[in-house]
Amino acid sequence: MSSRHAGRWLGWLAALAPVALAAGIMAVLWTGAEPGHSVTTEVEAASGFPRTLVETFPDGSTGRRVTLAAPPRRIVSALMATDEILLDLVPPERIAALCYLSEKQNALIADRVKSVKAFVDTDPERIIALRPDLVFLASFTKQETKEMLQNTGIPVFTFHCFDSLADIRRNVLTVGAAVGEDEKAKALVADMDRRLAAVAAARPPRDQWPAVLAFGHDGWVAGKHTTLTDLLEAAGARNAAAEAGVEGHTQLSVEKVLTMAPDYLLVMTGAGAMGPQGGGLLAHPGLAGLKAVREKRFLMVDANLLSCVSHHVVKAVEEIARQLRPQGGQP
């Protein structure tokens, strides 16, 4: 992930109500790779071990090959996305460490990590000291950290893409392949898809979907090629920024936002309350003309769900759909 894209998303997040630091880091994960540049993973010898995971790029070329001699028993995950997946695939005794943010009070999985013995950032010396037999990192981890770990011979797998529900599915399956829990990973994806299908079955026709805008009071919005667009569409809503031609995460003027005329504004919350962000939008003089503001039409979704990039993201879709159609009918 480029620093430019990370800055965009962090800028939007900083404009929101104060939430846990964990939510902020998950938002970084949300940005992912450049649009249209998904990296997939091919698995050699998928029926058993040893097996090799191979990065495959859109042009057909391949990147790093990570070979695992046996199912790993001392797994280190340095990003929250793989933390959330691992906890549903392997018992705690196979986890040497998770990302330090996962034990924060407001983290999505904080109540499930009590039995994990260690938590790490991306300090390579700290990770090496844990004697891992597999490390999960993200593409935006410092290159020197990756190289230092790889030079020790530790198998390191790097995740590149977090921009869509399809990326999330692939990442779940990749973690499953890496830890030798292919069937469990497939079951997680199948459950995610079953729940998405249930939401889709209750959606009205697309021409009746409301337009939703995620807008920070300093003008940051999420448009095309972001997970947010997928989440909104899965819930039965249109991303107003995407429809206006916004690519990725961009800062817009209030005047531009007014031309979008969204039916709802999406607000990240910390613990179910609208908080300062909602109040700030209500008080923003430039937004007074928006119908969504006048009528207080806010979709309030917990930041930990909205910025999640694991299979748990389906909970955000369900929550958005519930608020759009509280009685199961039209918005």
Domain 40-197 shares a fold with domain 203-324: yes
The pLDDT score that the predictor gives to residue 175 is 96
Show me where the domains of the chain are located: 40-197, 203-324
Q: Which residues of 22-49 are buried (b: 16+ CB within 10 A; e: fewer)?
A: bbbbbbbbbbbbeeeebbbbebeeeeee
Q: What is the mean pLDDT of residues 177-182?
A: 96
Residue 4 pLDDT greater than 90, yes or no: no
CATH number of 203-324: 3.40.50.1980
Superfamily of domain 40-197: Nitrogenase molybdenum iron protein domain (3.40.50.1980)
Beta-bridge partners for 212: 239, 264
Is the whole model's pTM more than 0.85, yes or no?
A: no
Closest CA to 48 of 214, 206, 160, 181: 181
Q: What confidence category does residue 216 fall into, taking pLDDT thresholds of 50, 70 and 90?
A: low
Q: What is the phi-psi region of residue 108: left when phi exceeds 0, alpha when psi lies from -120 to 50, beta otherwise?
A: alpha
Q: What is the mean pLDDT of residues 128-134?
A: 97
- Give the strand pairing for 211-214 and 264-269: parallel
The pLDDT score that the predictor gives to residue 105 is 72
φ and ψ of 21, to 5 deg? -55, -30
Query: How many CA within 13 A on the CB side of residue 268?
Result: 27
pLDDT digits (tens, 9 = 90+) for 197-211: 999 999 999 999 999
